[in-house]
Amino acid sequence: MTREFRKATVHTGTRVSRSSKQVKGGALGTETEKTPNLLTVDVEDWFHILDSAEAPDRSQWSELPSRVEANTDRLLQIFADAEVRATFFVVGWIAWRSPGLVRRIAEAGHEIASHSFWHELVNYHHRDSFRADLATSKKLLEDLSGQPVQGFRAPGWSITPEQTWAFQILAEEGFQYDASMVSGIASHGGFHSPYMGPHTLELPDHQLVEVPLPTFGVGRWRFPYSGGGYLRLFPYSLVRSAAQKTRKSGEPVCVYVHPREIDPEQPRMENLPMLRKFKYYVGLKQTEAKLRRLLKDFAFVPISEWIASHPEQIAKRRYSIDRFPEPVPESSRVPPDPPAEVLQGTG
């Protein structure tokens, strides 16, 4: 199956472009648009913490003070200042509650992709609940942004070898790429693909492009470094060194950030276990400065644009998946279908 990737270029507002701009990268030399990296944002709020009994229940979300719009608007300004475009993986619940935010992201020239509707781990779903979550999120985001939603990233990178059934549903629902694999150690994920960069997943009846998160280390002892708590915890010199090594191997560096990570004043969930609290809040005051340095030192494009520009490289790397264990979630963990009213009046 041949898939045609379209660049997300809905530009009804301020457009940013780096079509002719070079980025000087110090020890990295000079980067150009011939070898761009991938800039991504997981759009979720401060209370969207995974797999924690201490986190607010979804029934309470609408009553909590939201900070996602202000923080995402700040990221949009940071990206405009650096003249870069990104892929924004938006939680469907956020899009439902803040439709204007999705429109602003799209109007600024960025790609809109799905981060699920409920921001729940994939292993908590069965096939029907996952399909309902995906379909609602995709339709909602397309209606609000006016652009095709081609990509998906699982909350917590939670597609592992035990959740390969999710790839089938993604392809059946019209997604063209997934960005959920971590070829190393992750809290909720970990999928040791033979490829460290974008490649093709061959399924029995479909193909899907996979865009994994870069890692550094040896063998199976590999760790992410380019976003989230890893970016907040590691010194910038280590992040940049790891990125340089990824670049020398011929792969793009996929950077990711959450809007809350540039917000040191966000509400704190003081009842979280000590280790979880450390991982969730460490380094918040340094995130924005590190992000700005990354944008200065490297060239970036949205994921769909990179895929469209590298069809031969992706086609040569094929990973066949023929094992699809049936999901067996605890019934009490399975999230409900998105509310029926979500898609009313969004077109």
How many angstroms separate the CA atoms of 110 and 276, rounded? 32
The predicted-structure confidence for 157-216, as pLDDT tens digits, reads as follows 999 999 999 999 999 999 999 999 988 777 777 787 789 899 999 999 999 999 999 999
- Tell me the pTM: 0.91
Q: Consecutive 10-residue runs of the chain (347 residues): their mean pLDDT?
A: 47 41 40 74 96 90 97 98 98 98 98 98 96 98 98 95 96 98 78 89 96 86 91 96 94 97 96 90 96 97 97 95 91 93 79
Kindly list the distances between the CA atom of residue 127 and the CA atoms of 23, 154, 303, 324, in Å, as whole numbers in the listed order: 44, 14, 26, 12
Taken in order of first residue, the domains within the chain and their CATH numbers are 36-322 (3.20.20.370)
DSSP 148: -
How many angstroms separate the CA atoms of 211 and 213, rounded? 7
Measured in residues, the chain has a length of 347
Average pLDDT, the chain: 89
Non-local CB neighbours of 80 within 8 Å, separated by 6+ positions: 14, 16, 108
Structure tokens at 321: 């998946």
